[in-house]
Amino acid sequence: MHNFKKLNIWIDGMEIVSETYKLTKTFPDSEKFGLVSQMNRCAVSIPSNIAEGTSKSSDKHFNKYLEDSLGSAFELETQLIIAYREKYLAEEKYNILIKKINQLQKMISGFKSRLSKSLDS
């Protein structure tokens, strides 16, 4: 079992949640039940799956939750691209968030790889 609050992937995921909420508050009202809702749910899902995975009885089960978390990160990246193409955010903000999401994707992938190697040993 891991203490999720000490995992950098969880900490960085929580930061992305905050930034996503701040960003989506600026979107048009017409997106309230569309892109806003979807982006917020995806962002929340990233650290939530990491936290839930730490409660599992085996690293094999934890790995599945990390996979779900990674999937949510890719989903959020896609939604951010959509928001940028719809001109809901400036290029500078877009680039900053994409970079953070991509970095987190790499971190989660690396964590999964290390966890898988420990399962193989």
Note down pLDDT in tens along the chain; length 121 residues. 678 999 999 999 999 999 999 999 999 999 999 999 999 999 999 999 999 999 988 888 999 999 999 999 999 999 999 999 999 999 999 999 999 999 999 999 999 998 887 766 5
Structure letter (DSSP) for residue 32 = T
Tokens of 62: 């934890």
10 Cβ contact partners less than 8 Å away, ≥ 6 residues apart: 4, 47, 50, 51
Tokens of 71: 């999937």
Architecture of domain 34-120 in CATH?
Up-down Bundle (1.20)
What is the pTM assigned to this prediction?
0.93
Q: List helix spans (H) across the chain.
A: 8-24, 35-54, 59-85, 91-120
Q: Tell me, what's the pLDDT at 57? A: 81
Q: Tell me, what's the pLDDT at 119? A: 65
Domain boundaries defined on the chain? 34-120
